[in-house]
Amino acid sequence: MSVVWFVVPIAVLMAVLKSSWFKGKFGEFKVNMMARLRLSGRKYRLIKDVMLPAGNGTTQIDHIIVSIYGVFVIETKNMKGSIFGAQDQPVWTQKFYRCSNTFQNPLHQNYKHVKTLAQLLTLREGQIHSLVVFIGDGVFKTQMPENVTRGAGYIRYIKSKRDPVLSLSEVEDIVEKIETGRLTSSFKTRREHIRHVRNIVKEKQNGMVCPRCGAPMVMRTLKNGQNAGRQFWGCSRFPSCRGIVNNT
**Where exactly are the structural domains of the chain?**
2-204, 207-248
**Alpha carbons 236 and 100: distance in angstroms, whole number:** 13
The rounded mean pLDDT for the chain is: 80
**Alpha carbons 12 and 152: distance in angstroms, whole number:** 32
The residues that bridge with 220 in the sheet, in sequence order, are 101, 232
Query: pLDDT for 27-76, tens place per residue?
Result: 677 777 888 888 988 899 999 989 888 766 788 899 999 999 999 999 99
Q: Is 42 left (phi over 0), alpha (psi -120 to 50) or beta?
A: alpha
| Position with higher pLDDT, 67 vs 239 | 67
| Position with higher pLDDT, 229 vs 2 | 229
Q: What is the dihedral of CA 210, 79, 38, 185, to 10 degrees?
A: 30
Cα dist from 118 to 68, 71, 125, whole Å? 15, 9, 9
| Inter-residue contact 64 to 75 (CB < 8 Å) | no
DSSP three-state, residue 93: strand
Query: pLDDT for 141-176, tens place per residue?
Result: 999 999 999 988 999 999 999 999 999 999 999 999
| Global pTM exceeds 0.75 | no
Mean pLDDT, residues 206-226 taken together: 70
